[in-house]
Structure formats: structure tokens, C-alpha cells
């Protein structure tokens, strides 16, 4: 049985996470064998320039030597200890020193769980029920955040997945991103029942959409005025946009921060970080329960400390911004010369090429992008050895391992890929 046939036979849809199935671009899953620096190799031996980068977890690239050395040291000393070990507080301290107002950190094995803990903590601390979220943001796959918008501007959510009880989503209010009036209306309607406002301060899960700073400040002010806990989900943006995340880049401080991805150096991780007054509500100090066999896993802690140490020693952010700008400009030029209606959103090492000529500031705008054109684009890139996230609603990630030659290769492929996508839009015109 081939490996592809084996994964189709034994894994649901051939994958362990749906976007890896490549169905959004009507293609087959890519089966990878290994990753090195800015590239990955598939089981047939084809090497790709990788812009998925472990869905944003690998800011230092694949198999970074310092991270690998830390993980190997950990392996030799035992990889799962079961009681508290010294690297947990070392990573917590590094996070506390990076983010303003963070006294304590609680680690989980995934971003999903960290969001669950943060929301439970906010509900426990405020003794309120409701959660205010934003359309197009993603916060993992727990019941209360798997909610889609119903009709109206500030509606109680409807479940976006079979198996999520109406009771679980009923407490979640969903409003459009970047829309100050919608947040005002939600607070007017539900103000004193909103336990937490949960937001991606830079949205990465409807494609990359930047926040309007004034809107983000308004959200901050309204949460404070109504006594709601403002939670920034920086699972993607933490340590990526700046060492202190989107909150230092935009100068807006949340009450709690959820982290993941980069802080584990590519090992499974999530974290909730915040001031002692909130964090000490968690068990064993307080009444809000959270526990986990693999919480604070030594491998993730060691890889995380090595990653943050590297980022502190050699801050890559200016270089990533330059690389990001170069890639964005090149992609935009390729689209224009191919006659493809498109725009590139870019911030630091995050980018999305939207197949749309209209401004995109919220999810309903992103949804108007031409997904058939995007599919043609992503597939054409892949056939030329460049791996883009296989959905219009994901973000491309650069790493410190991407150098000029990787960008050259991507931009050489871009011209032909944009032509393929432009043909698709021409064909889909009435
Ligand atoms: C912003 C955001 N929050 C939470 C999560 C969930 O993290 P995990 O996949 O580690 O459970 C993700 C995953 O991509 C994410 O992008």
C-alpha cells in the first residue's frame, strides 16, 4: 500500500486537521517527509519553499540547530517528568519579561486549550456568562468559540459545527471585525453580562487582516468600562510581529494574553498569561479549574526557551519586515502584470494574497475573494515548488530561514501562478 493510500485508509480524510486535506483548493494532501530551514520535502522527494511554516509555529524555520540541540538535551534527560521542572518557570519568566503586565503564565498542550482556560478564567473572575467574539477570527476548536454569525450585526452565535450544543454557542456574541459601531451595540445590548472579549489583535484566520488601531483601542476602552476581561489571542502573532507581540506593536494592552505556536519552538503548546490578580484565580490558588498530564511538557518548554533566547539574541523583526515587504511587492506586481484582480496584505512576516480587488477589513469582505482563482494560484505555485497554505483564509508565514534565494524562487513562480489564476477569473466571468 502506498503511503498516500495508507493515510487515506487509516486517517479520516487522510489527515489529522481538515485544512491539510487541500480540499479548499481541490487538490490532494501533500505528504511530507522532512523539513530543513525554509524548505520541506515530500515523500516523492520534491522539495518546496515552505510558506506554511508549521502554521506559523516555526519562526526560526525547520530544524533550527539551537532548538534541536535543546530538544536533544531534553531527550537525554527524560522527556516527560510529570512534576514541575525548572524549564517551565524559565519559559514563563521569558514570556513575563516580553509582555507588559504579565506576572504569571499557565501552559497547556495547545492553543485551543489555552483559549478554553482563558475564557473559563474570565467567567470565573467576573461571574458572568457571555463571550464577545469577532467574525472571521479563529480561537481553536472548543465548543463555545466554534460559532458563526447569525443575522444582524450583534447576534448570539449559531453553532458552526455539528455536535456543538446550541446551549454552548448561545453565550457567544459575534460581531464583525474592525467595526466600532457593532462593538458599541453589543456592549449596549449585553454589557453587564459580557465576561470576556476575545479577539485576534491582528487577524490571521480570514487571511491576514490588520486591525484599525482606533477600533482596537475602542474595544479596549469598552471592555474596561463594562468590567469585561479583554483577551488577546496572540497564538499566531505572539513573538512573530514583535517580541512583545501585536499588543506592543499596536500599543493596546489586554487583560489576558493567549499564546501558542512560536513559544513551543514547533512542539505542541499553548499558554495563558496575565496579571496575578486574574491568574491566581486558577487552581490551585483559586477556584477556576485547569489541569493536564502534558501541561508544561518538557520538550515544548526546552524548545520554547531556546527559541525565545535566539529571538532575544538576534532580533529578526526588521529583517522579516524587509523580506515581507519585498515578497508582498513582488506578488502584487506579478498579479498586476498578469491582469489578476488581487491585493496583498502584509505585516512583518505575515502575508495573504487575496484574489479580490475590493478593500478587505472584515470577514464578509474576505469571503468575496475569488476562491477558484486562489485555488488555481496555490496549485500553480505548488507545481513550481512553492508551498502556500491551501486556503484563501490562511496566512503565509516567513521565517528567519527564508533568504533572498527563497524569495527569488517564489517570485519567479508568482508570474506563472498569477497567470493561471487570472485565466480562472476570466473563465468565471459571466
Ligand atoms: C489565533 C489562533 N488561536 C487559537 C488557535 C488554536 O491553536 P491550536 O491549533 O494549537 O489548538 C489557532 C490555531 O491556528 C489560532 O490561529
Q: What angle do CA 185, 191, 194 make, to 5 degrees?
A: 115
Q: And the C-alpha cell for 389?
A: 497554505
pLDDT value of position 223:
98
Q: Could you tell me if the CB of 270 is within 6 A of ligand 1?
A: yes
Q: Report the nearest atom of ligand 1 relative to the CA of 55.
A: 14
Q: Could you tell me if the CB of 235 is within 6 A of ligand 1?
A: yes
Q: And the C-alpha cell for 177?
A: 471585525
Q: How far is ligand 1, taken at its centre, from the CA of residue 138, in Å? A: 7
CATH classification (class only), 65-313:
alpha beta
Q: How many CB atoms lie within 10 A of CB 188?
A: 11
Give the C-alpha separation, 363 to 27, whole Å.
24
Mean pLDDT on 123-129: 98
Residue 359 DSSP class: -
Count Cβ neighbours within 10 Å for each residue of 33-52 and write b for 16 or more, e otherwise. Answer: eebebbbbbbeeeeebbbbb
Alpha-carbon torsion angle 210, 214, 218, 220, nearest 10? 60
- Residue 225 above 70 pLDDT? yes
Q: How far is ligand 1, taken at its centre, from the CA of residue 267, in Å? A: 13
Mean pLDDT on 329-334: 98
In this chain, the answer to whether the domains covering 3-59+316-428 and 65-313 adopt an identical fold is: no
Name the residues annotated as catalytic: 138, 233, 261
pLDDT value of position 427:
66
Q: Could you tell me if the CB of 179 is within 6 A of ligand 1?
A: no
Residue 149's pLDDT band (cuts 50, 70, 90): low
pLDDT value of position 166:
86
Q: Could you tell me if the CB of 202 is within 6 A of ligand 1?
A: no
Mean pLDDT on 290-312: 98
pTM of the complete model beyond 0.85: yes
Residue ranges per structural domain of the chain: 3-59+316-428, 65-313
Residues 6+ apart with CB under 8 A from 119: 131, 144, 145, 195, 196, 198, 231
Give the C-alpha separation, 183 to 178, whole Å.
9
Q: How far is ligand 1, taken at its centre, from the CA of residue 231, in Å? A: 14
Nearest CA to ligand 1 atom 4: 139
Which pairing describes strands 256-260 and 270-274: parallel, antiparallel, or unpaired?
antiparallel
Q: Could you tell me if the CB of 257 is within 6 A of ligand 1?
A: no
- Residue 155 above 70 pLDDT? no
pLDDT value of position 151:
46
Nearest CA to ligand 1 atom 8: 111
Q: Could you tell me if the CB of 226 is within 6 A of ligand 1?
A: no
Q: 198: helix, coil or strand?
A: strand
Residues 6+ apart with CB under 8 A from 104: 92, 96, 273, 274, 275, 276, 279, 280
Mean pLDDT on 49-69: 98
pLDDT digits (tens, 9 = 90+) for 277-288: 999 999 999 999
Topology annotation, domain 3-59+316-428: 3.90.1150
pLDDT digits (tens, 9 = 90+) for 345-388: 999 999 999 999 999 999 999 999 999 999 999 999 999 999 99
Terminal Cα-to-Cα distance of the chain (whole angstroms): 45
Give the chain's mean pLDDT: 95
Q: How far is ligand 1, taken at its centre, from the CA of residue 205, in Å? A: 9
- Residue 150 above 60 pLDDT? no
Q: Nearest 5°: phi and psi at 321?
A: -65, -45
pLDDT digits (tens, 9 = 90+) for 107-124: 999 999 999 999 999 999
Q: How far is ligand 1, taken at its centre, from the CA of residue 67, in Å? A: 21
The proportion of the chain whose per-residue pLDDT surpasses 90, expressed as a percent, equals 92
Amino acid at each position: 500500500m502506498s503511503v498516500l493510500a495508507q493515510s487515506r485508509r487509516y486517517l479520516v480524510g487522510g489527515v489529522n486537521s481538515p485544512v491539510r486535506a487541500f480540499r479548499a483548493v481541490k487538490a490532494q494532501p501533500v505528504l511530507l517527509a522532512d523539513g530543513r530551514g525554509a524548505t520541506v520535502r515530500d515523500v516523492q522527494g520534491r522539495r518546496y519553499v515552505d510558506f506554511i511554516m508549521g502554521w506559523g509555529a516555526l519562526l526560526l524555520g525547520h530544524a533550527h540547530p539551537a532548538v534541536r540541540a535543546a530538544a536533544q538535551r531534553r531527550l537525554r534527560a527524560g522527556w516527560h517528568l510529570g512534576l514541575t521542572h525548572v524549564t517551565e518557570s524559565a519559559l514563563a519568566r521569558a514570556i513575563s519579561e516580553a509582555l507588559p503586565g504579565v506576572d504569571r503564565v499557565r501552559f497547556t498542550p495547545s492553543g485551543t486549550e489555552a483559549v478554553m482556560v482563558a475564557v473559563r478564567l474570565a467567567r470565573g473572575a467576573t461571574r458572568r456568562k457571555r463571550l464577545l467574539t469577532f467574525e472571521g477570527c479563529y480561537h481553536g476548536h472548543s465548543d463555545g468559540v466554534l460559532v458563526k454569525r447569525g443575522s444582524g450585526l450583534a447576534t448570539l452565535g449559531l453553532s458552526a459545527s455539528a455536535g456543538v450544543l446550541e446551549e454552548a454557542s448561545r453565550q457567544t456574541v459575534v460581531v464583525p471585525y474592525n467595526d466600532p459601531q457593532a462593538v458599541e451595540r453589543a456592549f449596549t445590548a449585553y454589557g453587564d453580562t459580557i465576561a470576556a472579549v476575545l479577539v485576534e489583535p491582528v487577524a490571521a484566520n480570514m487571511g491576514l487582516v490588520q486591525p484599525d488601531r482606533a477600533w482596537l483601542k475602542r474595544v479596549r476602552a469598552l471592555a474596561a468600562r463594562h468590567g469585561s476581561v479583554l483577551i488577546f489571542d496572540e497564538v499566531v502573532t505572539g513573538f512573530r510581529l514583535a517580541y512583545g507581540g501585536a499588543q506592543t506593536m499596536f500599543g493596546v494592552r489586554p487583560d489576558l494574553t493567549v499564546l501558542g505556536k512560536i513559544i513551543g519552538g514547533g512542539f505542541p503548546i499553548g499558554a495563558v498569561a496575565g496579571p496575578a490578580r486574574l491568574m491566581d484565580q486558577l487552581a490551585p490558588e483559586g477556584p477556576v479549574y485547569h489541569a493536564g498530564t502534558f501541561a508544561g511538557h518538557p520538550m515544548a518548554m526546552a524548545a520554547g526557551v531556546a527559541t525565545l533566547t535566539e529571538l532575544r539574541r538576534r532580533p529578526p523583526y526588521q529583517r522579516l519586515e524587509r523580506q515581507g515587504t519585498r515578497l508582498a511587492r513582488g506578488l502584487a506586481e506579478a498579479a498586476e502584470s498578469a491582469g489578476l484582480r488581487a491585493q496583498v496584505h502584509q505585516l512583518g512576516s505575515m502575508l495573504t494574497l487575496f484574489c479580490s480587488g475590493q478593500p478587505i477589513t472584515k470577514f464578509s469582505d474576505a469571503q468575496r475573494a475569488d476562491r477558484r482563482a486562489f485555488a488555481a494560484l496555490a496549485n500553480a505555485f505548488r507545481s513550481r515548488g512553492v508551498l502556500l497554505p491551501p486556503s484563501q483564509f490562511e496566512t503565509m508565514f516567513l521565517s528567519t530561514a527564508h533568504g533572498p534565494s527563497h524569495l527569488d524562487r517564489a517570485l519567479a513562480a508568482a508570474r506563472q501562478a498569477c497567470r493561471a489564476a487570472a485565466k480562472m477569473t476570466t473563465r468565471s466571468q459571466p
